[in-house]
């Protein structure tokens, strides 16, 4: 992609001015990204630029602080009495958590520094799309409240699970609380991804309605006396696909890490719960029930996030498929040369530019991804149980 050549350029261009409505749509996400030390770009004086050196140092400092807290937790874990009751596998899981979270903070920092220019290009594409789409203000308002509700639910859920776990064991540690809240940044990446995808999918749905109306009614002159702007519709569709490609580049590593974290966490904690059940069987142990409840809720939370990303991707895939279907129907009722060129362009773009989002060739992100993850976890759970109780 050509953006690689200007990956670290941060000059203010006239074309980089910020639209107030788009800024308002993404403001909740950008606010939490900043306070968690992982801003994606800089907006100042009405212009958007890639992160400056100071912002990059801010991100690196945040990652260093969070990693230091994680390491401190491991070094002082043997002094915390509650961990004396944990099984070997559960203790191993705590070390694994620290290693995984440290990798996550490094990934967040790397992506937000290395792909800051791509995030700016994505932002500008969203602005360009917004200017041509009918009902754009309503779409942006829906996306904003969608992200706000998700952020509130996830943040409150994180605090609730932390409180339940630590109150159950009559134990509180400010470093554990800081780490748990910092890990919220991993979930925030998925909320951001869902918001962008929902905006693109809803915008494309509105564009499809316009294509259907103009093509099927064989409109040659609009009510204001002008001709249908097929070139503008074509350019908007190209911008949607460009924004989708920028999105894939900026979020691929973040979504891959969250999926990897969800799977590995479940494998480790399922084995831990099995060990707890074996240790206290046939009695009912409160520790096993507590850990099992926390793991179950955490798994449901992560899978729900994966579902939201998969459904958002599937909605966008469906919208692009609908565009091609509408164009196929209208081939027999072409109203102008511009209309004919547009129909050909859509089919060519869908064959050459558009393809489903692949995670480094390992799996495709779509509506079936959560089901595949659950199937994989269920299979390994059966294997763990066979080895545990053979």
pLDDT digits (tens, 9 = 90+) for 55-103: 999 999 999 999 998 888 777 766 554 555 555 666 777 788 888 999 9
H/E element, 359: none
Query: 3-state class of 44 per DSSP?
Result: strand
Q: Give the tens place of pLDDT for each residue, 200-229.
A: 999 999 999 988 888 776 656 566 556 778
CA angle 108, 292, 174 (to 5 degrees): 50
**14: domain range?**
1-389
Average pLDDT over residues 238-242: 95
CA angle 216, 221, 223 (to 5 degrees): 100
Neighbours of 206 (CB within 10 A): 18
Q: If pLDDT is split at 50, 70 and 90, which confidence band does 292 have?
A: confident
Closest to 247 (Cα-Cα) out of 45, 26, 36, 46 = 26
C-alpha neighbours within 13 Å on the C-beta side of residue 206:
19
Average pLDDT, the chain: 84
Enter the pTM of the model.
0.89
Query: 3-state class of 365 per DSSP?
Result: coil
Q: Give the tens place of pLDDT for each residue, 246-271.
A: 999 999 999 999 999 999 888 888 88
- Residue 9, pLDDT above cutoff 60: no
Count of structural domains within the chain: 1
Q: If pLDDT is split at 50, 70 and 90, which confidence band does 7 have?
A: very low
Closest to 11 (Cα-Cα) out of 42, 33, 34 = 42
Alpha helix segments (H runs only) across the chain: 20-35, 53-75, 88-114, 116-132, 136-168, 174-216, 230-280, 286-330, 337-352, 369-388
Average pLDDT over residues 349-357: 88
Average pLDDT over residues 306-323: 95
Q: If pLDDT is split at 50, 70 and 90, which confidence band does 194 have?
A: very high
């Amino acid at each position: 992609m050509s953006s690689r050549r200007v990956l670290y350029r941060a000059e203010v261009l006239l074309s980089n001015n910020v639209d107030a409505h788009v800024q308002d749509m993404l403001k909740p996400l950008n606010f939490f990204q900043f306070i968690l030390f992982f801003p994606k770009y800089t907006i100042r004086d009405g212009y958007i630029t890639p992160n400056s050196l100071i912002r990059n140092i801010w991100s690196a400092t945040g990652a260093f602080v969070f990693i230091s807290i994680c390491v401190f937790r491991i070094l002082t874990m043997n002094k915390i009495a509650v961990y004396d009751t944990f099984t070997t596998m559960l203790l191993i899981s705590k070390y694994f958590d620290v290693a995984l979270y440290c990798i996550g903070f490094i990934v967040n920092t790397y992506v937000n520094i290395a792909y800051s220019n791509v995030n700016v290009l994505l932002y500008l594409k969203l602005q360009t799309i917004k200017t041509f789409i009918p009902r754009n203000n309503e779409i942006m308002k829906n996306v904003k409240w969608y992200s706000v509700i998700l952020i509130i639910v996830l943040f409150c859920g994180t605090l609730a699970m932390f409180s339940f776990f630590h109150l159950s064991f009559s134990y509180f540690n400010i470093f554990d609380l800081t780490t748990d809240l910092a890990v919220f940044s991993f979930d925030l990446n998925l909320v951001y991804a869902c918001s962008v995808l929902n905006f693109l999918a809803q915008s494309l749905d509105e564009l499809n309605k316009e294509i259907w109306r103009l093509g099927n009614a064989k409109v040659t002159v609009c009510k204001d006396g002008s001709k249908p702007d097929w070139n503008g519709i074509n350019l908007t569709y190209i911008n949607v696909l460009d924004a989708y490609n920028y999105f894939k580049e900026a979020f691929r590593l973040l979504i891959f890490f969250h999926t990897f974290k969800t799977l590995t966490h479940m494998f480790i904690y399922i084995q831990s719960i099995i060990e707890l059940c074996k240790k206290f069987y046939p009695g009912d142990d409160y520790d096993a029930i507590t850990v099992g409840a926390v793991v179950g809720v955490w798994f449901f939370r992560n899978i729900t996030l994966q579902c939201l990303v998969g459904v958002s991707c599937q909605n966008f895939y469906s919208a692009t498929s609908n565009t091609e279907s509408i164009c196929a129907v209208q081939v027999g009722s072409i109203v102008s040369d511009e209309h004919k060129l547009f129909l050909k362009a859509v089919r060519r773009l869908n064959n050459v530019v558009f393809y489903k989002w692949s995670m480094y060739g390992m799996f495709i992100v779509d509506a079936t991804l959560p089901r595949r993850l659950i199937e994989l976890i269920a299979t390994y759970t059966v294997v763990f149980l066979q080895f545990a109780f053979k």
